[in-house]
Amino acid sequence: MTRNKLKLGIFGFGCVGTGLYKVLEEAESVDATIKKICIKHPDKPRPIDKKYFTTDKNELLYDSEIGVIVELIDDADAAFAIVSEAMKNGKSVVSANKKMIAEHLPELVKLEKKYQVPLLYEASVCASIPIIRNLEEYYDNDLLTSVSGIFNGSTNFILTKMIHEKLSYPVVLQEAQAKGFAESDPTLDVEGIDPKYKLCIILFHAFGLITKPESIFNFGISRISDFDLEFARQRNFTIKLIARCNKNNNEITGLCAPTFIEKENTLAHVNYEYNGVILKSAFSEKQLMIGKGAGDKPTGSAVLSDISALTYDYRYENKKYIHLNKQLKLVDTKIYKVYVRYPDPFSGFNDFDSIEEQYSSILGNYLIGHICLRKLAHSSWINDTNINVIFFS
């Protein structure tokens, strides 16, 4: 098969953009060259010749020689405008922007169909793990029942350090930021918002379901205390920020929250900046994929993988979405087993279907009970920063 020679226009040259440049330089098998890079700050020191850079987006979007736009910026709204215009101009697009994709999936699917151009975004979910391509190709006819795992390398790095090295959350967060695993404002990572965006994309490729990010419950790791960590150690658990979705007949459940994982569980051994994804299906049963989920080269390699696929005119077929069972829907009525650490007084006891354990001491109080996800998400106490919630796997 003849491969296309590609000229790239890149938006953004931060961590991922620099990573892409590095892996593109080393990957001699991919016939793609960078023609122009659009940036915000022209005076910032860069590792390559200044002739590549511009602050004018039109130099990329309207250059007929540029066949592929690679979008690697932080601003989701600006990214959507860039991607939309590129597709309207007949250009293929590669993106790593999970927020933009999760929030605009319906529009992006329509643009793909109308302008008959591919949009690939493997780097938007779990960096170096080729989860989207696998869901599109390997699992296109398999009866998937669930996808779950560690979708955020930054929080996994933080939790690993807190649990295994007994370091405090502020200390580990600072280290994660210094290593480039966490942003200066870490909210998207540590509050479980980033993996929620990724879960939206997974839901689309696993089951064909498009859902709004705000429809999925997320809870982060910033409230985890020494008290919670000691509880985990005593029960032989570790704690991971887990994103999960399950299909039961026509109902889909999904959430992202800190979760107690038994030490025998495979995900308990996925540590530091690594991600791990478990897929369960009727035919192939259970499969595990592990790879680096943070850092410039792992994410850059996923972007490069999409660029390489475009040299063969690859595109997502979105079969599950096209043939979607119209009765399929996201529900929040499932009952989950959770641990809640709370201060006195606590007003949430009546929200639980049942409470199987309760403990009080001068060091802290907790309960273990079963609660409907909808009740938990809309409870009067969930936003109290003195209260922490951890799910059981």
Residue 311 · residue 4 · CB < 8 Å: yes
198 is catalytic: yes
Q: Which residues contact 169 (CB under 8 A, 6 or more apart)?
A: 158, 162, 221, 222, 224
Instruction: Give the distance, in angstroms, between the CA of residue 91 and the centroid of all CA atoms in the same chain.
Output: 25
Residues 6+ apart with CB under 8 A from 386: 342, 343
| 117 CB neighbour count, 10 Å cutoff | 20
Alpha-carbon distances, residue 221 vs 138, 181, 204, 341 (angstroms): 33, 15, 26, 13
Cβ-count burial of 80 within 10 angstroms (0-12 exposed, 13-18 middle, 19+ buried)?
buried
Say how far apart CA 6 and CA 69 lie, in whole Å.
Answer: 10
List, in sequence order, the alpha helices (H) in 93-181: 98-115, 131-137, 153-164, 169-178
Cα separation of 167 and 160, whole Å? 9
Q: Is-contact 122 306, C-beta < 8 A? A: yes
Distance CA 119, CA 310 (A): 9
In which element (H, E) is residue 285 found?
Answer: strand 285-292
Question: Which residue in 57, 198, 247, 320 is the catalytic one?
Answer: 198
- Helical axes 98-115 vs 193-207, angle rounded to 10°: 30
Could you give the C-alpha distances from 160 to 165, 221, 241, 253, in angstroms and in order? 8, 12, 11, 27
Here the tokens at position 46 are: 């860069």
What are the residue numbers of the active site?
198
